[in-house]
Structures are given as structure tokens and as C-alpha cells.
Amino acid sequence: MDAFSAVNADKWSRLRELAFKRRLSGPDADELLRLYQATSAHLSLIRSLEPESGLSASLSATLAQARTRFTGARSNFTADLARFFVVALPAALYRLTWLTLACGTVFILVGSAYALWIGSSPDALRSLASDSSVRQYVEEDFIGYYSENPAASFAGAVWTNNAWISAQAVALGITGIWVPMILFSNAKGVGIAAGIFAATGKSDVFYSYILPHGLMELTAVFIACAAGLRIFWAMVSPGARTRGRAVAEEGRSLITVALGLVLVLFVSGLVEGFVTPSPLPVWAKIGIGSIVLAVYWLYVLVWGRRAYLAGARGDLGAGDAGYTEIAA
């Protein structure tokens, strides 16, 4: 092995030099390929005799660097990041526009029904809690919830909780049961809270605390529910695709949505942690929440529509998604 290394050391050294060279001329590139092929053969021989040697590891590293030089990286990280935010994510969100609005409509109808029932029926209100408990909830507990912890930790906790709810909606949406359950339970909770405040004549307090962050936060939940329903419907009605392929395509594109929702919920968590309990005027707090929501819809309806019409669906590229079979 020592003699073999002595004979070929110059070639290996030259390959390492070319592999790390900033610019390669035409002859340099040809030499790099020739040395790469020769060194690959050398490494194969060395591994057959001393597979765990330091020389084997060193040559493997040199060959890996040389291979990167003549094959190149698959893509640039910053270009991938830009493509995700400018093409893949807005296109995937745009596909869910009408289903998101449908989920929001159902939520509002269910929540409004509960609010009307609790707010107009003393018996229904008494079945929930005693008069003293209602007063404590309206005057202390509800408002204190937004300020009892430091803003940063509260925003983080809210972000984590909402991201978990959204992840469940996307991941378990294929069951067809989980999304309606999440929508109904959240609409019921918000509707009951609104009804309690309405019954005590303090609806303005409720909406001044729920709207600044709730506009974007609830929209994010609707998006997650819409994504889960798309996966479920791909299984029920795959169209011209096989069922497995349809679910795989929808699943991959809607994982893009799940990643985007992490950022959306982070923003709404910041609003809930820092804006909702702040001493700002009510109109300013609601205005900030409205601006956040308007920026989201502008992003989806402008960039998303443009990317969708260009053929983007939020799925992985052909090289990452893999080949598909032709099916009748």
C-alpha cells in the first residue's frame, strides 16, 4: 500500500487541487475528469484490501469534492427559498381559496348560532355557569388570559398551540372526520364566549380582544381545514389518477401549505402576544389585525393566482417527486 500510494500520490494531490480550484479552464476540466476516473479505480482497489484505512477515507472525500465540481449542486439554496415563497406556497394557498372561504362560512354560522342561543337564553347561560362564574369570566379571566404571562412567552405558546391544531387538520384530514370536528369544536367555543359577553352586555369587550389576532389566526385554521379536506377528497374522488397517486400529489402540495402556516401563525401569535393586550386604542389594534389579513389575501390572490395560472400547484418538482406510472 505504501508503494501504491507513493506511485499515485501526485495524481491524488492534483485531483484535490483541481477539485478546490476556483476557476477551471477547458484543459483543467478535462484533466479533472480523467483523474476522477483513475482515482475511482484506485479507491476501489484500496477498499478491497483496506476498506477502513485513513487513505480510503481521504480519497473518498477528495472524490466527493471533485464530483461536486463537475456535476454541480442541484440548485442554489437562496433560489429554492425564493421559489418556495414566490411560486410554490402562494400557488398552493390559492388552490384552497374557495374551500378556505367555505370553512370560514361554516365556522361563522355555527359560532353565530351558539352566540345567539347563549346570548338570548338565560336558561342556556345558567346551564353553563353560575352568575358569579360568568362575572368572573367576563371581568377577569377572559381579559387576564392575554396579559397574565410575558408577551414573548405567551406569543410562543399561542403559536405552538395553533400550529399543532393546524398540523392535525392537515395530517388527519384524510379521515374525513377530523376537520369537521375541529371546525365545530372551535366554532362552538368562540360562539359560547361571544354569547356570554352578549348576555352581559359587553360584546364590545369581547370583539376588541378577539378581532386583532383572530382575523388571521382563524383564517389560518380555515386554511388548514381546507388542506385536510383536499387530501380527503383526493382519496374519495381521484379523477383520472390512481388513488395513491392523487393522495400523494395532494399530500405533497399541502405539506407546502403546512410549512407556510407555520409562518402565518407566527405572525398572528405576535399580534396576540404584543398587540391584543397592549394599551393601544381598539381601532388601532383591530386595524393592525386587518392589515395582516389584507396582506395575506393580497399575497394569495396576486402572487398565488399568477403562479397557479403559470402551472404551479405547490407540489415538488419532477426530480424530487419521482416518476409516475401511466394509468388508464
Task: Count Cβ atoms within 10 A of the Cβ of residue 266 and give its class: 0-12 exposed, 13-18 middle, 19 or more buried.
Answer: middle
Q: Domain span at residue 47?
A: 2-71
Residues 312 and 197 placed together within one structural domain of the fold = yes
Residues 86 and 56 placed together within one structural domain of the fold = no
Residues 54 and 133 placed together within one structural domain of the fold = no
Say if 327 falls within a structural domain.
no
| pTM exceeds 0.85 | no
Segment 104-121, tens digit of pLDDT: 999 999 999 999 998 888
Distance, CA of 289 to CA of 285 (rounded, Å): 6
Other beta carbons within 10 Å of 53 = 13
Residues 93 and 225 placed together within one structural domain of the fold = yes
Say if 275 falls within a structural domain.
yes
Say if 50 falls within a structural domain.
yes
Asked which of 71, 99, 119 is the last residue of a domain, the reply is 71
Say if 326 falls within a structural domain.
no
Mean pLDDT calculated for residue range 41-49: 86
Residues 29 and 87 placed together within one structural domain of the fold = no
* Average predicted confidence (pLDDT) for the chain: 83
Does the structure show a pLDDT above 70 at 63?
yes
Asked which of 71, 90, 118 is the last residue of a domain, the reply is 71
Say if 47 falls within a structural domain.
yes
Say if 193 falls within a structural domain.
yes
pLDDT at residue 267 in the model = 85
pLDDT at residue 56 in the model = 83
pLDDT at residue 155 in the model = 63
Residues 291 and 309 placed together within one structural domain of the fold = yes
Distance, CA of 32 to CA of 38 (rounded, Å): 10
Amino acid letter for position 288:
I
Residues 96 and 245 placed together within one structural domain of the fold = yes
Does the structure show a pLDDT above 60 at 93?
yes
Asked which of 52, 71, 90 is the last residue of a domain, the reply is 71
Segment 202-251, tens digit of pLDDT: 888 888 888 888 888 889 889 988 988 888 888 888 888 788 878 877 77
pLDDT at residue 108 in the model = 93
Say if 88 falls within a structural domain.
yes
Distance, CA of 301 to CA of 90 (rounded, Å): 8
Say if 105 falls within a structural domain.
yes
> Which of the two residues, 176 and 149, has the higher pLDDT score?
176
Residues 159 and 279 placed together within one structural domain of the fold = yes
What is the count of structural domains for the chain? 2
pLDDT at residue 116 in the model = 93
